[in-house]
């Protein structure tokens, strides 16, 4: 099998509906700052993957108006995160094949108002829709959306850049996918294809030219991105200032399903059925799978999603038992699928498990599976999930449910996940690795007690929260954080062990940050939140495995509570020091001069999650490797834009081994990475002009005044940082060169 074939196979295995390969030569017309080569010099190919929108979410979502988006919300709640997973996991696969790979986020890391010489509003790192055309998957329609012969505009796509020379997918050369029916133009609620149009784009890709209106993105973003009410009379001129003014005056009214998507379909697949929906429907044929075979496929999806109870029944059964009418949500509903989960972390006092993500994913995966098998299927409707569970005989206290409706005739079924044999420590370690962790370590509650005695409680710190997390001004609120060293017992009474999982991110995500022609931090910001998401997924399954064996378990993103936060397009995240203590105690890492965990395998290039359990597990030996810092010229110290690393490290002794815990001036560090007041740390690369020196007076009031003085504009929604001390840290190279005797 060639590398190209292996990549395509892996992309399909990860769940992609479409895969194509674009050679970089097809990006010749792209601006350097938004090109594969501008993002990662040496790039040779771009792998593009697509996920099909379930037809019913497009056809039946957002009724009777485009806002709010109704069942179409799966676009941002499921499809974008799943595309992120695809991009990130395929990049890790590519790295494992020995080539460089840079995963690009699916959406929502943008420079709203361009960057330096690059004057483009809403500029992502890479335009996936153009990459998808370059990868031979389809064409651009008059609406500016990417279209394919199979799904019309009903897919979202994502890209991974690599230096691997791969076999290109031929350019699409079938019949035109857009026939200029102009339904997108007629239905646009902001009239974005007619008002404020700057001309006609002429985009050349792979020898083909696509022409479509050069719309004003601020107008298009009125509801779609900023959530402003479409009931307003939209001004003749829409720009950043107008949007911020309307937001301040009226607030938001919910997300929008783009009518340019909803009312668009390729002529070959377009069919109207006014009794079903206003939008064109997509012609499709049911696959040859029988109802029983479909139920088997659903069962496999449910099992992979950690579902505890699955029930399948007829729409008539649900209607008769509950009075709910499935046909109101899916006119041809014949069957109902109910998925139930026992909430993870029973008995825990703290829990960072992200059950909603698992529920959203699994329900969508079931609907998507039925859809690609040619049936109508919809999830995230207004059906009452608990009532559906009651109708199909699987209601249990403490369970949470999701409902999927489908036109497929499915035989009734009920599946309950049973108890499992308690895993041995080796089984558990293998389970974690199989599920995607790169590093696994255990430590006991006793070892933590020794750590507590050595470290003591941290001083409480005052932090400033933003009561206006959207775009525009910062509304500061002072809160107190920390003040106590949390331990396993604080998360789970009776805790005996902690499992620590690490996940590396691709080297290129940090190697390219700030220094390539694109001058972007997007891929590293992506890696920061995506590793948390994927680690959370692995941890969820580990908790499930333990709970089904009779143990209790809970998930901790910052076990000891000593970490702070880092600003991201996805909100405030636990910073990259989170779980440094846990990784140290599990024998996976030591703490560098910059206070971040360093492993011999990956340097600083990973994140950690902790699982606290009452299952007794043997502790792993503490790491006895010589820290890279001892053989390093400390570039982290000089690179820090706020001089936060000028103190003396604190040493603790555990089981006879000395560990330096780093010496970080938390106030100065947060000034840059949490409050984004230092341009060099990240905001300057997002196009913001901000550089406020750290004040003499180190108070929350000083932070509040500083953040209020900055004109954040729309970009406040997408503030990201790439921590300078992480970017310059050569620990991975030092360890790889010495090939240290890693256990
Ligand atoms: S709605 Fe019609 S004109 Fe608009 S992009 Fe789709 S096919 Fe083309
Ligand atoms: S840059 Fe050098 S001194 Fe600083 S943490 Fe990394 S290895 Fe240690
Ligand atoms: S470089 Fe950034 S993250 Fe590192 S210590 Fe300085 S401010 Fe903190």
How much distance in Å is there from the Cα of 278 to the middle of ligand 1?
Answer: 15
Measured between alpha carbons, how far is residue 209 from residues 130, 518, 684 in Å?
11, 24, 34
Q: 78 — phi, psi (to 5°)?
A: -125, -50
Ligand 1, atom 6: nearest CA belongs to which residue? 264
Per-residue pLDDT band for 662 (boundaries 50, 70, 90) equals confident
Closest ligand 3 atom to 726 CA:
4
Q: What is the pLDDT of residue 92?
A: 98
Mean of pLDDT values over 479-494? 96
Q: What is the pLDDT of residue 44?
A: 98
Q: What is the pLDDT of residue 650?
A: 84
* pLDDT at residue 429 tops 80: yes
Q: How far apart are CA 154 and CA 131, in angstroms?
A: 16
Q: Is 596 in the pocket of ligand 3 (CB under 6 A)?
A: no
Tell me which ligand sits closest to the C-alpha of residue 649: 2
Q: Which of 141, 177, 201 to mutate to test the pocket of ligand 1 (most atoms within 8 A of CB)?
A: 141
Q: What angle, 0 to 180 degrees and rounded to 10, lies between the N-to-C axes of helices 80-96 and 3-14?
A: 150
* pLDDT at residue 622 tops 90: yes
Based on the number of CB atoms within 10 Å of its own CB, is 96 exposed (0-12), middle (13-18) or buried (19 or more)?
A: exposed
* pLDDT at residue 273 tops 80: yes
Contact 584, 597 (CB under 8 A): yes
Q: What is the pLDDT of residue 641?
A: 98
Task: Give the CA diameter of the chain.
Answer: 76
Helix (H) and strand (E) counts for the chain?
25, 29
Q: What is the pLDDT of residue 646?
A: 78
SS3 assignment for 151-207? CECCEEEEEEEECCCCCCCCCCCCCCCCCCCCHHHHHCCCCCCCCCCCCEEEEEECC
Per-residue pLDDT band for 629 (boundaries 50, 70, 90) equals very high
**Token digits of residue 447:** 């070892």
pLDDT tens, residue by residue, 212-264: 999 999 999 999 999 999 999 999 999 999 999 999 999 999 999 999 999 99
How much distance in Å is there from the Cα of 147 to the middle of ligand 3?
Answer: 43
Q: What is the pLDDT of residue 268?
A: 98
How much distance in Å is there from the Cα of 584 to the middle of ligand 2?
Answer: 16
Per-residue pLDDT band for 742 (boundaries 50, 70, 90) equals very low
Measured between alpha carbons, how far is residue 29 from residues 122, 157, 158 in Å?
19, 20, 19
Tell me which ligand sits closest to the C-alpha of residue 269: 1
pLDDT tens, residue by residue, 39-71: 999 999 999 999 999 999 999 999 999 999 999
Q: Is 673 in the pocket of ligand 3 (CB under 6 A)?
A: yes
* pLDDT at residue 355 tops 50: yes
β strands within 597-642, DSSP E: 597-598, 606-613
Ligand 2, atom 8: nearest CA belongs to which residue? 629
Map out the domains of the chain as residue ranges: 3-276, 291-416, 425-738
Q: Is 642 in the pocket of ligand 3 (CB under 6 A)?
A: yes
Q: What angle, 0 to 180 degrees and rounded to 10, lies between the N-to-C axes of helices 522-547 and 355-372?
A: 100
Contact 386, 339 (CB under 8 A): no
Q: Is 264 in the pocket of ligand 1 (CB under 6 A)?
A: yes
Q: What is the DSSP string of 123-139?
A: E-SS-HHHHHHHTTS-E
Residue 651: partners with Cβ closer than 8 Å, 6 or more residues away: 658, 659, 660, 661
How much distance in Å is there from the Cα of 266 to the middle of ligand 1?
Answer: 7
Contact 484, 561 (CB under 8 A): yes
Cα angle, residue 97 at apex, residues 93 and 101 outer, rounded to 5°: 60
Q: What is the DSSP string of 318-349?
A: HHHHH---GGGTSTT--EEEEEEEEPS-TT-S
Tell me which ligand sits closest to the C-alpha of residue 636: 2
Neighbour count for residue 304 (Cβ, 10 Å): 12
Closest CA to 734 of 584, 545, 618, 600: 600
* pLDDT at residue 743 tops 50: no
* pLDDT at residue 157 tops 80: yes
- Is the torsion defined by CA of 22, 23, 24, 28 positive or negative? negative
Neighbour count for residue 591 (Cβ, 10 Å): 25
How much distance in Å is there from the Cα of 31 to the middle of ligand 2?
Answer: 35
Q: Is 530 in the pocket of ligand 3 (CB under 6 A)?
A: no
Q: Is 629 in the pocket of ligand 2 (CB under 6 A)?
A: yes
Cα dihedral 351/357/359/363 (nearest 10): 180
Tokens 């009239």 locate to 191
Ligand 3, atom 8: nearest CA belongs to which residue? 669
In the CATH hierarchy, which top-level class contains the domain 291-416? alpha beta
Q: How far apart are CA 106 and CA 471, in angstroms?
A: 21
pLDDT tens, residue by residue, 289-299: 999 999 999 99
Tell me which ligand sits closest to the C-alpha of residue 637: 2
Average pLDDT, the chain: 96
Contact 689, 712 (CB under 8 A): no
Q: If you count them, how many residues does the chain have?
A: 743
Kindly calculate the radius of gyration of the chain based on its CA atoms and give it in whole angstroms: 26
Tell me which ligand sits closest to the C-alpha of residue 176: 1
Mean of pLDDT values over 614-619? 97
Closest CA to 74 of 310, 280, 378: 378
Q: Is 55 in the pocket of ligand 3 (CB under 6 A)?
A: no
Q: Is 182 in the pocket of ligand 1 (CB under 6 A)?
A: yes
Measured between alpha carbons, how far is residue 408 from residues 36, 302, 310, 360, 376 in Å?
43, 17, 17, 21, 7
Measured between alpha carbons, how far is residue 642 from residues 177, 564, 671, 699, 727 in Å?
53, 16, 8, 15, 15
């Amino acid at each position: 099998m060639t590398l190209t074939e292996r990549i395509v196979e892996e992309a399909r295995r990860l769940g992609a509906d479409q895969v194509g390969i674009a050679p970089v030569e097809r990006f010749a017309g792209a601006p350097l700052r938004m090109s594969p080569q501008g993002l990662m010099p040496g790039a040779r190919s771009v792998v593009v993957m697509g996920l099909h929108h379930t037809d019913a979410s497009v056809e039946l979502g957002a009724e009777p108006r485009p806002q709010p988006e109704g069942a179409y919300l799966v676009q941002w709640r499921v499809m974008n995160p799943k595309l992120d997973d695809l991009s990130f996991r395929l990049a890790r696969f590519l790295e494992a094949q020995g080539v460089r790979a840079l995963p690009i986020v699916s959406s929502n890391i943008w420079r709203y108002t361009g960057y330096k010489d690059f004057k483009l509003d809403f500029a992502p790192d890479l335009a996936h829709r153009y990459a998808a055309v370059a990868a031979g998957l389809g064409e651009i329609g008059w609406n500016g959306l990417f279209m394919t012969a199979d799904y019309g505009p009903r897919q979202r796509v994502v890209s991974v850049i690599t230096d691997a020379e791969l076999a290109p997918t031929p350019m699409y050369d079938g019949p035109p996918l857009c026939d200029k029916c102009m339904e997108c133009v007629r239905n646009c609620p902001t009239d974005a294809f007619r008002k404020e149009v700057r001309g006609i784009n002429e985009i050349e890709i792979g020898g083909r030219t696509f022409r479509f209106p050069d719309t004003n993105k601020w107008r298009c973003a009125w509801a779609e991105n900023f959530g402003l009410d479409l009931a307003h009379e939209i001004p003749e001129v829409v720009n950043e200032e107008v949007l911020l003014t309307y937001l301040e005056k009226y607030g938001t009214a919910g997300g929008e399903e783009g009518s340019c998507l909803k009312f668009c379909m390729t002529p070959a697949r377009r069919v109207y059925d006014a009794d079903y929906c206003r939008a064109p429907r997509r012609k499709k044929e049911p696959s040859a799978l029988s109802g029983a075979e479909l139920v088997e496929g659903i069962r496999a999806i449910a099992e992979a999603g950690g579902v505890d109870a699955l029930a399948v029944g007829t729409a008539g059964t649900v209607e008769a038992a509950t009075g709910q009418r499935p046909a109101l949500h899916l006119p041809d509903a014949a069957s109902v699928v109910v998925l139930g989960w026992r909430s993870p972390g029973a008995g825990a006092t703290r829990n960072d498990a992200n059950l909603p993500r698992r529920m959203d994913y699994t329900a969508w995966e079931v609907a998507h599976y039925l859809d690609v098998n040619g049936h109508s299927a919809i999830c995230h409707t207004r059906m009452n999930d608990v009532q559906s569970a009651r109708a199909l005989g699987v209601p249990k206290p403490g369970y949470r449910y999701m409902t999927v409706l489908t036109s497929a005739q499915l035989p009734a079924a009920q599946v309950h996940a049973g108890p499992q044999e308690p895993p041995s420590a080796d089984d558990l370690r293998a389970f974690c690795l199989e599920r995607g962790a790169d590093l696994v370590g255990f430590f006991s509650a006793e070892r933590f007690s020794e750590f507590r005695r050595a470290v003591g409680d941290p001083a409480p710190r005052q932090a400033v929260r933003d009561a206006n997390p959207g775009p525009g001004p910062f509304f500061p609120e002072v809160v107190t954080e920390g003040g106590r060293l949390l331990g396993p017992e604080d998360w789970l009474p009776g805790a005996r062990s902690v499992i620590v999982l690490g996940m590396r991110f691709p080297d290129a995500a940090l190697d390219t940050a700030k220094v390539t022609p694109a001058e972007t931090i997007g891929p590293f910001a992506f890696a920061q939140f995506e590793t948390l998401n994927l680690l959370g997924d692995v941890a969820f399954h580990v908790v499930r495995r333990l709970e089904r064996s009779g143990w209790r378990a809970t998930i901790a993103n910052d076990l000891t509570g000593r970490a702070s936060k880092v600003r991201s397009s996805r909100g405030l995240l636990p910073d990259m020091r989170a779980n440094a203590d846990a990784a140290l105690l599990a024998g996976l890492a030591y703490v560098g001069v910059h206070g971040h965990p360093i492993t011999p395998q990956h340097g600083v290039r990973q994140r950690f999650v902790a699982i606290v359990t009452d299952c007794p597990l043997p502790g792993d030996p503490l790491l006895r490797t010589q820290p890279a810092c001892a053989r390093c010229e400390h570039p982290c110290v000089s690179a820090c834009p706020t001089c936060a690393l000028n103190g003396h490290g604190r040493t603790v002794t555990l089981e006879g081994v000395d560990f330096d815990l780093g010496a970080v001036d938390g106030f100065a560090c947060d000034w840059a990475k949490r409050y984004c007041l230092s341009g060099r740390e990240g905001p300057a690369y997002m196009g913001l002009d901000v550089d406020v020196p750290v004040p003499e007076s180190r108070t929350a009031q000083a932070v509040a005044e500083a953040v209020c003085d900055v004109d954040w504009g729309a970009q406040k929604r997408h503030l990201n940082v790439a921590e300078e001390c992480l970017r310059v840290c050569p620990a991975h190279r030092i360890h790889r060169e010495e090939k240290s005797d890693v256990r």
